[in-house]
Amino acid sequence: MVIGTAVGENGLVVTGGAAEVDAALGGRLEAVLTALGATGKAGETVRFATLGTLPAATVLAVGLGPLAPPSAPLDAEVLRRAAGAALRALAGTGSVALALAAAPGSITAESVRAVAEGALLGTYSFDRLRTTSAKGLPTPVGALTLLVDGASLPLAQAEIDRAVVVAESVVLVRDLVNTPPSHLSPALLADVAVEQATAAGVTVEVLDEVALAEGGFGGIVGVGQGSANPPRLIRLEWRGGGESSALALVGKGITFDSGGLSLKPPTAMEWMKTDMAGAAAVLATVVAAARLRLPVTVTGWMPCAENMPSGDAIRPSDVLTLRGGTRVEVLNTDAEGRLVLADALVRAAEEAPGLIVDIATLTGAQIVSLGQRTSAVMGRDDAVEAVTTAAAATGESVWPMPLPPELRKGLDSTVADIANVPPGGSRDGGMLVAAHFLAHFVPNEASWAHLDIAGPSWNGGQPYGHTPKGGTGVIVRTLIQLAEDLAGPPSDQGSTIAG
Ligand code: BES
Ligand code: MN
Ligand code: ZN
């Protein structure tokens, strides 16, 4: 059983939901935890045996950090992370009950959602490539129970149903990111997309290398031509609303980024299987929209290629003709994401969707600017605001960044319409320059935002909260929320409709 602790004014306090445990211990729960060294700080876990005083064999107290103004509701992301940390600490346990949401009577939809999501995400592990003999690691928790009072039950059930879809979507992205390029080529990623889409009732279309060449997708073809594994462009559609799409999502799907002839050094390449995290997030979101039956039409575009050096690879100084006819001088083959995205953005805009959001592990400069846990959003004001609003509601860290006009000139090419990097290789404002390149391919009248998730897509450090090592599944929660926001308020069940 999991309960929450926090840092109060005079040391450790036990949060709502632990009343039953406290009573079973004769009101000495705080004393027990303090004796065990618990302080209530965020992420701390302390476990003790109940020795028959409670149905649960052990109690795990997880720290939530400093208690906000005593009566204020706990921040949802604080709960989400605590639930995640608790479930990670309990790996190997058969079944777990959580009394984290809040005290009986004060349980909110938001807190149930957060605890359910965090707990489900905390059970993640990626073991499919281990042989059985190498296992012997603790198995993830098998069954989860959320403890709520009877009055909160209907509310809780609806939130748990949603949380299961959301968590499975995040897990799909983690699995795809963690799957190495030996097991995930563009064609195999397309196979996963077809399988997932078909099961959820999402329409899916795949363009292969021949169709891509015929369609004038010179960026996707060019980036993919150095590899033995040919490129793909995947189109997804969930028609939950009108005929035209309210939201088009475009995700960078580089299944491995070696840099191409502008080869990366070995350690930079080590984690470049994460370079399809944007495409995976697009797939997971469109499938989630379908599973949640959101009354909104959402399309997804996944331009997928493997960026490799070879005798067939594009060379620095090559000129590619992208979809729509724009000529691009490729001065650095490692700036490949913008090339595949440009093609897909042009194609997505041809359908005139209400809002276009692209998601990409686009630049190392993103990590320099915002670190490994905060994604950047750039683009047109209305679109940027829609994304930051959705992100804030989900607890994902997303920060708006500008597109200073003077940075655009750096991409002027001496031979073509635009270069993919500034000639001479200036790295100044690299994330913003990349966004400028993309903006060149989005019609002026379109509402468009670009998310750079290079750092946040991958956790190279230790697990924390509900985030494991490796693929994080970041931004999917924000994108699902964004689709929900565009769908409008849920159809009313009658309670607030005046007669
Ligand atoms: N996939 C990388 C960006 C990246 C870096 C993603 C680190 C995740 C973690 C991208 O294709 C790339 O190589 N960008 C270059 C651009 C440069 C050549 C202008 C970069 O950021 O170094
Ligand atoms: Mn690259
Ligand atoms: Zn890349």
Residue 430 CA: which ligand is closest?
1
For residue 80, being part of any structural domain is answered with: yes
Q: Which atom of ligand 1 is nearest to the CA of 457?
A: 8
Instruction: Provide the token pair at 150.
Output: 């009877």
221 and 72 fall within a common domain: no
Among the listed residues 345, 379, 399, 344, the one whose alpha carbon sits nearest the alpha carbon of residue 449 = 379
DSSP β-bridge partners for residue 6 = 13
65 and 174 fall within a common domain: no
In percent, the amount of the chain with pLDDT more than 70 equals: 96
Lowest average pLDDT, out of 71-80, 364-373, 381-390, goes to 71-80
Domain that holds residue 278: 167-489
For residue 431, being part of any structural domain is answered with: yes
DSSP β-bridge partners for residue 318 = 330
**CB-based pocket (< 6 A), ligand 1:** 257, 274-275, 332, 334-337, 361-365, 421, 430, 454
For residue 244, being part of any structural domain is answered with: yes
Alpha-carbon dihedral sign for residues 429, 401, 267, 220:
negative
Mean pLDDT of 26-32: 96
Instruction: Provide the token pair at 242.
Output: 């009108």
For residue 218, being part of any structural domain is answered with: yes
193 and 246 fall within a common domain: yes
Name residues whose C-beta falls within 8 Å of residue 493's C-beta, 6 or more positions apart in sequence.
none
Residue 424 vs residues 309, 331, 420, 434: alpha-carbon distances, Å: 21, 9, 12, 15
207 and 284 fall within a common domain: yes
357 and 462 fall within a common domain: yes
211 and 111 fall within a common domain: no
Distance of CA 463 to the CA centre of its chain: 16
Q: Which of 123, 144, 159 is the last residue of a domain?
A: 123
**Of 107 and 41, the one with more pLDDT:** 41
Integer Cα distance of 238 and 271 in angstroms: 32
pLDDT score of 495: 40
For residue 129, being part of any structural domain is answered with: no
Q: Which of 97, 123, 149 is the last residue of a domain?
A: 123
88 and 221 fall within a common domain: no
Q: How many helices (H) and strands (E) does the chain have?
A: 15, 20
Say if residues 326 and 418 touch (Cβ distance below 8 Å). yes
Q: Which of 88, 123, 158 is the last residue of a domain?
A: 123
For residue 140, being part of any structural domain is answered with: no
Say if residues 252 and 137 touch (Cβ distance below 8 Å). no
88 and 196 fall within a common domain: no
DSSP code, position 73:
P
Tokens 């033995």, residue located: 228
Q: How much distance in Å is there from the Cα of 482 to the middle of ligand 1?
A: 26
For residue 162, being part of any structural domain is answered with: no
114 and 173 fall within a common domain: no
User: How would residue 67 be classed by pLDDT, with cut points 50, 70 and 90?
Assistant: confident
Three-class DSSP category at 235: strand
Amino acid at 298: V
pLDDT above 60: residue 499: no
Best mutation site among 263, 332, 362, 366 for ligand 1, i.e. most ligand atoms within 8 A of its Cβ? 362
Three-class DSSP category at 279: helix
Q: Distance from first CA to last CA of the chain, Å, rounded?
A: 45
pTM: 0.97
For residue 146, being part of any structural domain is answered with: no
Integer Cα distance of 205 and 215 in angstroms: 14
In this structure, what CATH number is given to the domain that contains residue 77?
A: 3.40.220.10
336 and 403 fall within a common domain: yes
Amino acid at 446: A
Q: How much distance in Å is there from the Cα of 370 to the middle of ligand 1?
A: 15
290 and 217 fall within a common domain: yes
Alpha-carbon dihedral sign for residues 338, 339, 340, 343:
positive
pLDDT above 50: residue 494: no
> How many domains does the structure of the chain reveal?
2
349 and 406 fall within a common domain: yes
Instruction: Provide the token pair at 340.
Output: 């595949």
In this structure, what CATH number is given to the domain that contains residue 332?
A: 3.40.630.10
- pLDDT by residue (tens digit) across 135-176? 677 888 889 999 998 889 999 999 999 999 999 999 999 999
Integer Cα distance of 85 and 64 in angstroms: 10
Q: How much distance in Å is there from the Cα of 446 to the middle of ligand 2?
A: 27
Residues known to be catalytic: 264, 338
